[in-house]
Amino acid sequence: MNFEYDNDNIFAKILRGEIPCIKVFEDEHTLAFMDIMPQKPGHTLVIPKESATTIYDLSDEACLSCMKTVKIVGKAIEKAMQSEGSTIFQLNGVFAGQSVPHFHFHVFPGPPVDLKDHAVELEDVEKLKLIANKIVACI
């Protein structure tokens, strides 16, 4: 069973300014911010400002905007975290492991090895802010 779009999901609340986030990039169509339960240092989320649960629900314009932001943020993450590469992934639906019913990309430095479990352990906010500042400086 897949999610229906829920206007009260955590990412929708972040977009409305009801919940704070540690922002690394924002434009007219997208927002990129630190994952508060990162799987590794530098783990950043890229979301559209459009309401969509999966990539299949997303407009072509929002999809393209997300990819542009992923490119900008991904390059900055590699530079900030001194990584020669990065991992980008996106999950569609509950069965695939999607935990928030708002389309999003995960971007983090390096290969997908030595990862913490997804959405399990909160990170120290000050540590996230330090990493975010490094990424922002590289955009």
Dist. CA 33–CA 55, nearest whole Å:
19
Catalytic entry in 102, 104, 106, 118: 104
Contact indicator for 27, 47 with CB cutoff of 8 Å: no
Dist. CA 28–CA 39, nearest whole Å:
28
Catalytic site residue 106? no
β-pairing verdict for 23-26 and 86-89: unpaired
Dist. CA 39–CA 110, nearest whole Å:
12
Dist. CA 64–CA 77, nearest whole Å:
20
Contact indicator for 21, 14 with CB cutoff of 8 Å: yes
Active site residues per annotation: 104
